[in-house]
Amino acid sequence: MTELLQVKVVKVGIADMNIVKPPYSIRTSGLGSCVGVVIYDEKKEIAGLAHVMLPDSSLAKSGHINVAKFADTAVKELVQRLVKEGARLIFLKAKMAGGAQIFQFASRGDFMRIGPRNVEAVRKELADLHIHVVAEDVGGNSGRTIEFNSKDCMLNIRTVNKGTKNI
Amino acid sequence: MSFIEKIIPLQLDILKEIGNIGAGHAATALSAILNRKIDMIVPNVRVVSFDEMMEMAGGAEQVVASIFLRIVGDASGSMFFILSLPVAEYFIQQMTGDETFSIDSTPYTDLALSCLQELGNILSGSYLTSLSDFTQLNLYPSVPSLSIDMVGATISYGLLELSQVSDTAIVIDTVLEKDQLFAESIDGHFFLLPDPESFDIIFSSLGVTTND
């Protein structure tokens, strides 16, 4: 009996993406400077999550590109897959979390600002596709684990020492 | 094809030896600080996906104390010294002489944090010095940075350079164990992640021709 009540979870690893429909929820763990972006169609009850690591695919130095790794390619690919699965482009909304600064470094290397850069890149890509960001929990200096429920479209965020919240 | 897929067993053995020498010196330093016997497990050199690397450190969501530093100089890379929370607590207690310190009570005192950071500094310093002697390369550590957070959140920083080239990492992992004090088998991890372009530099410094 209890099995029926349990929400099933699809896990997304680093530089990865996936799509779910109820009763599944979708989850990614240990977001630091990475950004977890959820794009969903509320009425069609379909949601996708990408765990983005770097802001732009132009950073790639090798020929083969893992589209889920970069903000620009990940958002495009996720939207394409959602639409293919029946989501309607104009009704898509987004929620995002992550982009923290875990280590405080004295050096000014570009990679030390990677969190905020990832957030900016995801935001820009969503804006280009006219996808509204409904809620976000970004920045700070703590890691996050997020889980999105495709039924009620709530994003649950767990932060070390700061408990959980829903946005 | 990236360097990672081309790596040959001889090169993996060399990397293993690097882990052995580096962590060996670090273990000696740790042993001197704590005045205790520290055991080291023969290092592991593995070619892993990013997710597998998180698993090696206890899983992406596991909260650990990690000290992270960048290596600069002739060759570059990232280094992590990762401790489970009970072990970090024990180290802080030993170093400050304050047996009442608890890792569960946040925020941590400056002294406790500085203590761990200094520990990371000493250990990674001895790791790097021996590595530098062994390879005759000039290697310098950045100021180490400490974080007590999820594995996924911390380790991803060390993967940023690599992630531009590949979806896998060559990780030189050495496990430190303290005899019988903890039930947990894993007490401390040294992860050395050379940047992609550093492999050729390291190998040629040791007289090993790289495969073209």
Residues in chain A: 167
List the domain range (segments joined by +) for residue B197: 3-205
The answer as to whether B87 is a domain residue is yes
Q: The domain that contains A144 carries what CATH number?
A: 3.30.1330.200
Query: What residue spans of B104-179 are helical by DSSP H?
Result: 110-135, 151-163
pLDDT of residue A111: 65
Does residue B211 lie within any of the structural domains? Answer: no
Sign of the torsion formed by the C-alpha atoms of B191, B197, B202 and B208: positive
From B29, B53, B76, B33, select the one nearest B154 (Cα to Cα): B53
Q: Which residue of B has its CA nearest to A145?
A: B61
List CB contacts (< 8 A) between A161 and chain B: 106
The CATH number linked to B182 is 3.40.1550.10
- pLDDT tens across A58-67, in order? 887 776 788 8
| Residue B71 forms part of a structural domain | yes
B210 lies in some domain: no
- B114: Cβ–Cβ under 8 A, 6 or more apart, which residues? none
SS3 B139: strand
* Predicted pLDDT of residue A1: 41
- Cβ-nearest to A143 among B59, B150, B196: B150
Cis peptide before A116 (omega within 30 of 0): no
Contact indicator for A112, A103 with CB cutoff of 8 Å: yes
Q: Is A153 an annotated catalytic residue?
A: no
> What is the signed CA dihedral for A114, A117, A119, A124, rounded to 10 degrees?
-150
Tokens 């989850």, residue?
Answer: A27
Question: What domain range includes position A135?
Answer: 2-166
Domain count, chain A: 1
Please list the rounded mean pLDDT of every run of 10 residues in chain A (167 residues): 64 92 91 93 93 88 82 93 92 93 65 86 94 92 91 91 84
- For residue B73, being part of any structural domain is answered with yes
Say how many C-beta atoms besides its own lie within 10 A of residue A21's C-beta. 14
Q: Distance from A91 to chain B by nearest Cα, in Å?
A: 32
**Residue in chain B lying closest to A115 (CA):** B157
Residue B59 has pLDDT above 50, yes or no: yes
Residue with tokens 């350079």: B161
List of chain B residues whose C-beta atoms are within 8 Å of the C-beta of residue A145: 60-61, 150
Q: What is the pTM of this model?
A: 0.85
- Contact partners, residue A31, CB within 8 Å, separation at least 6: A51, A97, A98, A100, A143, A144, A145, A146, B152, B153
> How confident is the model over A131-152, as pLDDT tens digits?
999 999 998 888 999 999 988 9
**ipTM of the complex as predicted:** 0.81
- The answer to whether residue B164 is domain-embedded is yes
Mean pLDDT over each residue of chain B, to the nearest integer: 81
The pLDDT tens digits of the residues spanning B116-142 come to: 888 888 888 888 888 888 888 998 888
Structural domain count of chain B: 1
- Kindly state whether A91 is in contact with chain B, defined as any CB-CB distance less than 8 angstroms: no
- Residues of chain B neighbouring A143 (CB-CB closer than 8 A): 149-150, 152-154
Structure tokens at A32: 């630091």
